[in-house]
Amino acid sequence: MRHFLRDAAVDDFGTAARQATASGATSRRRGGVRRRGRPTRCGGFVAGPWRRSGVGIAWLVAAASAVGAEGPLDADPPPSDLSELIPPSGEPPQRAVERNVVKLLVTKRAPDLFRPWTKAAPAASSGSGVVLVDGRILTNAHVAMHASQIFVQLRQGGDQLPAKVTALAPGIDLALVELLDGAQLGVPGLPLADALPETKTRVSAYGYPTGGDDLSVTDGIVSRIEFAGYYYGAAGVRIQIDAALNPGNSGGPAVQDGKVAGLVFSKIEEADNIGYLIPAEEIRRFLADVADGAFDGTPMLFDEVQSAENAALRSYLGAPDDVTGVVVTRPYRDADDYPLRRWDLITHIGDRPIDNQGYVDVRPGLRLRYHYYVPLAARDGEAPLTILRRGERLQVRVPTRAEAERLVPMLKDRYPEYFIFGPLAFTAATQEHVAALGPRGLSALAAFDSPLLERMGEPPGEPGEQLVVVASRTFPHPITKGYENRALAVVQAVNGAKVRNLRHLAELLRDARDEYLEFDLGGRGESFVFRTREFAAATEHVLADEGIRYRSSDALRDLWPNE
């Protein structure tokens, strides 16, 4: 997302990506990329958007975008007597918590980005979860994402109970798991905290990290609360604690006064005891969102802004000394009907004043980025802002979205769409495709002046536009003799017809009647020419030779109803 200060911790183009790493599900297959001094997400990667400034590609472990959280609430004071927390049964409070923390044993089948007709090999992993008062199990999305099989194991009893994922929000890293056939775990569940914890207060993190089989409990201090980046372009309130966290702690609760203050989701590998929690108010928003069976996301703004501290800049804007805010450097949309303009000074979100660094006061001792209040102030898809434009104060309503429109979107928890025609497999490009190439692959794209790099950060030029690429290297077949064998070549046109999206390309090839098919592959390098009949006839040979069951993903099979 782009609605951030240039020096902010939440920078759509990569700054916040380096701040958090999933403490992760324990896995037999190590994922992610570890860089000295930078956090990495255990168990997988998350791609981010193209950095518009410069010529590099900012592929992210965690892409930041502004979302909000629940409104400010005053923290409840801790009980003066611990006996107040002991249930009527006489069970100590820690034992009551322990009964509600579960281990999740997960078998995952991640996408195979360069062989989209199949999935990656099964990978076994484990993580933690907490039973809520309604009986559902809360965990991290990165623990449950792409799960083909999940078992839930209580500390007591030890039976592995089959379960399923019922809700998933990869960006904010939350998921719900329920037992199959409506079965119940027989534990009371833990309530969510009513407020953000105070800094310098103690929490206890529960989970099943690597290093042993039994439940682990570690204590830590709340050292920081901030609005920062999560994953896949999302952001929100994040709690930093100094408890010892390890892979496998992900999805476990951090408890304060018998309530879930947050859910463990990440840590910084190269630092000593810096871990992060998703606070209860972000969890509440997620639960409310998925109550209808679908996750819609949180209203956000996507305008690029900068601080308003410089004296010359303030004079240029005509800003009085007592007016503070942030300056719009690039509106999300360059259109006459869009309410923000370059050099607008945003002074308020709703009735909350914004300071020159982009912060708002939430409660005594707590300041957060003004994006915190966007979903709280938004109504009917618009956020009310007060701006100063050429010295005039205006009230405007800015459209909000759950995520920015990208020509090259993030795949998240989905599997890629594809179709096979002749000796070529085609798919729609995603951020994950680019990230999976690694530095050498990115250099190759740059050498070919690939449109995939040039247009990474752009919105679609028209509704439904996709950047269609050759998903994998060409399949072995005599008609490909002499052609280059490169993946992710962008298919811009076929026989002069511009390709709008994956379905459109499939229709162009299916309905082709010319003697030849000419593929215009964007950037430098050669293009393909095939005889139309030979190209179509090669499809059956390729499917049989490669052992591919379906020539296309589900969404495109209606194009070939007789196959």
Residues catalogued as catalytic: 142, 250
Angstrom distances, CA of residue 246 to CA of 88, 94, 170, 250, 251:
34, 21, 20, 8, 11
Angstrom distance (rounded) from CA 225 to CA 367 = 9
SS (H, E, C) 462-529: CCCCCCEEECCCCCCCHHHCCCCCCCCCEEEEECCEECCCHHHHHHHHHCCCCCEEEEEECCCCCCEE
Angstrom distance (rounded) from CA 560 to CA 421 = 11
- Give the bridge partners for 119, in sequence order: 111
Structure tokens at 208: 């099943």
The contacts of residue 142 (CB under 8 Å, 6+ apart) are: 22, 24, 25, 41, 43, 44, 170, 173, 231, 250, 265
What dihedral do alpha carbons 227, 190, 173, 11 form, nearest 10°? 0
Cα angle for residues 211, 215, 221 (degrees, 5° grid): 90
Q: Which residue has the tokens 């083909």?
A: 148
Of 321, 327, 302, nearest to 389 by C-alpha is 327
- What distance separates the 2 farthest-apart alpha carbons in the chain? 86
Q: Three-state SS for 441?
A: helix
SS (H, E, C) 412-431: CCCCCCEEEECCEEEEECCH
CB hemisphere CA count around 366 (13 angstroms): 23
The contacts of residue 114 (CB under 8 Å, 6+ apart) are: 433, 436, 471, 472, 487
End-to-end CA distance of the chain: 42
Q: Which residue has the tokens 């914890």?
A: 197
> How does DSSP classify residue 301?
-
User: With contact defined as beta carbons under 8 Å apart, do 511 and 539 qualify?
Assistant: no
Angstrom distance (rounded) from CA 58 to CA 233 = 13
DSSP one-letter string for 517-538: EEEEESSSS--EEEEHHHHHHH
Q: Three-state SS for 76?
A: coil
